[in-house]
Amino acid sequence: MTHLDIIRLRKLDPKVVALGSHRGIIQSMLDFDYLAGRKSPSVTAIVASGRRSERYFFGPKEVMIPAYNTLPELPESARKAANLFVNLSSGRRVLRSSREAMDQLPGLVGGVIFAEGFPEKHAIELYREADARGIWIIGGASVGIVVPGVVKLGAIGGTQALQLEQSRLFNPGSIAVVSSSGGMVNEVIRTVATTGHSLSFSLALGGERFPVLTPEDAFLAAQADDQTKAIAYFGELGGDDEYVLVDLLKDGRITKPVVCYIAGTVADLFDTPPQFGHAKAMAKTDDESARAKAAALNAAGAKAAPTYQDFVDSIAALTFKTKLPDPEPQAAKLSARKPALISSTVSGDRGDEVYLVGTELLDLASNNSFAHIVISMFLGHRTKSRELDEFVDFVLRLLVDHGPYVSGAVNTIVSARAGKDLVSSLASGLLTIGPRFGGAINQAAATWLEGVERGISPAQLVEERARVRSYILGIGHRKYRSDLPDPRVAKLLEFKSSLKDARFTNFAQGVETETTRKKGNLILNVDGAIAALMLDLLSEKEGYDTARLRALVDAEFFNGVFVLSRSVGFMAHYFDQSRLDEGMFRLTPGQVAHIDNEHTGF
């Protein structure tokens, strides 16, 4: 019994994961979605090394499709929602990546393998594994499957929007088109359209000798589909696919009309059998010749045309033509699309109005706090939790300045006294931000995230870092100790009361318990507390999983609030020096230590 259920597929809300990247194929799938009236792309994720997203058109507008290096990196929600895959990776990677898709995507229904050169041994293994799981897989070397108005999985039907429209792929009909050949399945689809019919569905088995979805599976899927009234089949010399259809017709398992054409009669003119385009397209015996297959099909009750023109006439003669009007042409409107030079999820304009994170600027500014606008723009979307907004507001106020003696303030002051302008002086101060000054928040976040991700205890983390003599950023203070706690940290930790789990903050405090046993001043400091609480708020209140948190760490997101807040302090020092007007800053010889190289080893 075939697992390919067209009736079920027709009711599916397709959520496709692309294994590998192929711009033409993916764009054609999105064009199909748009022209079919979908509100969002069916392709929800791309698994390919490189970028974190890929830019495509959805109708006239550009969209970003998330990209991941591996399937396990997909957010849990995306993995659970996925129900189809299109495998665009190379032939040698198909078995591994398809297996991984079956393991990682619990809602998987089926998939398509595009690659040629897919080893026969791998195809047989994949068939058995997919069959055991109740999943259908089409290919290798397949252009895919299309159900008009519902889903296009692969390059089937063409890769240009105009081709899709001209093939009437948005007007459901009654004829199922099946072939091993990708090029010819597209040709037959167009033939169906030009004769006034429309498809019920179409699929290309693929040109490899052993396709994962067998010809029997495909024919029986057409028989079981109540919308399919007839089957149009394009075959070739070589192999035994047509005899599978002959047996199904003789056994009464296929009762619907079958019109077909078997290509390759020209091979009879050669002394030795020629190899045609596909792996199995060579007649090694008389039974595998195109003429013998056509005769067997005619004897079994199919209508096997002697020429392709006769095949076209047979399709045209089918009496059940689509009565629904064709949709209004739209594809031509998509032909002039050009990709933008810059993509942004932060801001844009619609007509004369500026929008920030999807909201009109004046509305956003009038009804929200500065902290909400800041964190929403940093994240690229509107936040939904009041607790996160309030935390960011407090952090922005807390970090605004830390005296005139820290490196950033000193650089700003020195530049201002040298007569530099505001922007230059501010830049001078900002350039000192790094691991030793201001940059510890992000590294602390990386540490807490790593510890929780790995499932290790705080004690294990401390021991690992001690073994390699590596500092734990976010831990330690020059002034405050366990018996003289930092009041700023205590105030920050009040935000923990709004959290249910607080796994990152609990982990950070667990590390503090271990480190203060060694030395009293190795306490959780402001950087470490901000990092831990921010991770928890993003996780619990905004629904960020560890993969998205890791992406924020990689982008130095957690240092952003420090940079923004401290910029205020640096500018304040610039204005202060302008008011004081003390002139050029100079050090006297007594203020600079002279080091004797002879005694230092330098």
pTM, two decimal places: 0.78
Q: Which residues contact 219 (CB under 8 A, 6 or more apart)?
A: 178, 231, 244, 245, 248, 254
3-state SS track over 537-583: HHHHHHCCCHHHHHHHHHCCHHHHHHHHHHHHHHHHHHHHHHHHCCC
Can you state the angle between helices 386-398 and 526-542, rounded to 10 degrees? Answer: 160
541-568 confidence digits (pLDDT tens): 999 988 889 989 999 999 999 999 999 9
Is 114's pLDDT higher than 90? Answer: yes
| d(C-alpha 238, C-alpha 337), whole Å | 44
Q: What is the mean pLDDT of residues 490-518?
A: 96
67 CB neighbour count, 10 Å cutoff = 18
pLDDT of residue 120: 86
Q: How many CB atoms lie within 10 A of CB 306?
A: 13
Neighbours of 242 (CB within 10 A): 27
pLDDT of residue 126: 93
Spell out the domains of the chain, with CATH numbers in brackets. Answer: 1-167 (3.40.50.720), 354-383 (no CATH), 440-580 (1.10.230.10)
Instruction: Report which of 43, 23, 34, 62 is spatially closest to residue 344, judged by C-alpha positions.
Output: 62
Residue 281 has pLDDT above 50, yes or no: no
Max CA-CA distance within the chain? 109
Encoding tokens for residue 98?
A: 């398809």
**pLDDT band (50, 70, 90) for residue 282:** very low
Query: Which residues are known catalytic residues?
Result: 278
Count of Cβ atoms closer than 10 Å to residue 430 Cβ: 16
For CA atoms 89, 91, 97, 99, the dihedral sign is: positive
Cα angle 371-372-375, degrees, rounded to a multiple of 5: 80
Q: 44: closest CA among 20, 18, 73, 21?
A: 18
User: pLDDT by residue (tens digit) across 228-271?
Assistant: 999 999 988 777 788 999 999 999 999 999 999 998 665 454 55
Cα four-point dihedral sign 240, 246, 251, 255: positive
Cβ atoms of 67 and 86 within 8 Å: the answer is no
Contact 281, 290 (CB under 8 A): no
194 Cβ contact partners less than 8 Å away, ≥ 6 residues apart: none
Q: What is d(CA 5, CA 227) in angstroms, rounded to the nearest whole number?
A: 12
pLDDT interval class at 283 (50, 70, 90): very low
Lowest-confidence segment of 32-41, 273-282, 412-421, 472-481 by average pLDDT:
273-282
What percent of the chain shows pLDDT beyond 70?
93
Residue 575 token pair:
């204005």
Count of residues in the chain: 602
pLDDT of residue 285: 52
Q: What is the pLDDT of residue 286?
A: 64
260 and 234 Cβ atoms separated by less than 8 Å = yes
Residue 487's Cα: distance from chain center in Å?
Answer: 43
pLDDT at 64: 92
What lies within 8 Å, CB to CB, of 239 at 6+ separation is: 209, 280, 281, 288
Q: Residue 16: which of 5, 6, 28 has the closest Cα?
A: 28
Buried b (16+ CB within 10 A) or exposed e, 510-533: bbbebbbeeeebbbbbbbbbbbbb
pLDDT digits (tens, 9 = 90+) for 142-197: 999 999 999 999 999 999 999 999 999 998 999 999 998 888 999 999 999 999 89
The arithmetic mean of pLDDT across residues 216-226, rounded, is: 96
DSSP 525: -
Which spans in 399-495 are helix H? 407-417, 422-430, 440-454, 458-467, 487-492
Q: Which of 477, 475, 443 is nearest to 458 (CA)?
A: 475
Residue 320 pLDDT > 80? no
Alpha carbons within 13 A on the beta-carbon side of 35: 31
Cα 195 to Cα 191: distance, rounded to the nearest angstrom: 6
Greater confidence (232 vs 90) lies with: 232
Question: What is the C-alpha to C-alpha distance for residues 364 and 346, in angstroms, rounded to an integer?
Answer: 13
pLDDT digits (tens, 9 = 90+) for 378-407: 999 999 999 999 999 999 999 999 999 999
Q: Which of 199-203, 281-285, 411-415, 530-534 is the least confident region? A: 281-285
Distance CA 416, CA 28 (A): 57
What torsion do the CA atoms of 396, 402, 406, 407 make, to the nearest 10 degrees? 20
